[in-house]
């Protein structure tokens, strides 16, 4: 296995974990009162993810981490927004998502 492949996979997994925590935070504040259990669970998820980040930071450049995490988070948040919250994307948002994916493929090719 390529020496950067596993840290990249962990980065994408951490993006999923972060999106789950983001979803819990959004749901925690979704009603009139704060749902402290959901908020606490989100906080705990973020705190536990630090172990994974320590591993990733040891093996990848910050620029690479930023791009992979940012684009992975973007894609997973879009899926959650569209599927779970029934949000709709306009043409500019779709174009932005496509250019983000293009930048990821360029980074993978030339990194």
Q: For residue range 20-41, what is the model confidence (pLDDT) as tens digits?
A: 999 999 999 988 899 999 999 9
- The per-residue pLDDT for 110 is 65
Q: Report CA 29 to chain centroid distance, whole Å.
A: 20
pLDDT band at 91 (very low <50, low <70, confident <90, very high): very high
Q: In 3D, which of 15, 21, 22 has the Cα closest to residue 73?
A: 15
Of 92, 94, 43, 102, the closest CA to residue 67 belongs to 102
Q: Do 107 and 67 contact (CB within 8 A), yes or no?
A: yes
Is residue 93's pLDDT more than 90?
yes
Per-residue pLDDT tens over the stretch 52-67: 999 999 999 888 888 8
């Amino acid at each position: 296995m390529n020496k950067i492949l596993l840290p990249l996979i962990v980065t994408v997994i951490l993006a999923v974990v972060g999106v789950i925590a983001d979803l819990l935070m959004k749901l925690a504040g979704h009603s009139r009162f704060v749902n402290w259990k959901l908020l606490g669970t989100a906080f705990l998820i973020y705190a536990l993810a630090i172990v994974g980040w320590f591993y990733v930071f040891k093996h990848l450049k910050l620029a690479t981490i930023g791009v992979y995490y940012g684009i992975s988070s973007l894609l997973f948040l879009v899926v959650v927004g569209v599927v779970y919250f029934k949000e709709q994307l306009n043409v500019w948002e779709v174009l932005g998502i496509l250019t983000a994916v293009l930048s990821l493929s360029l980074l993978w090719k030339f990194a």
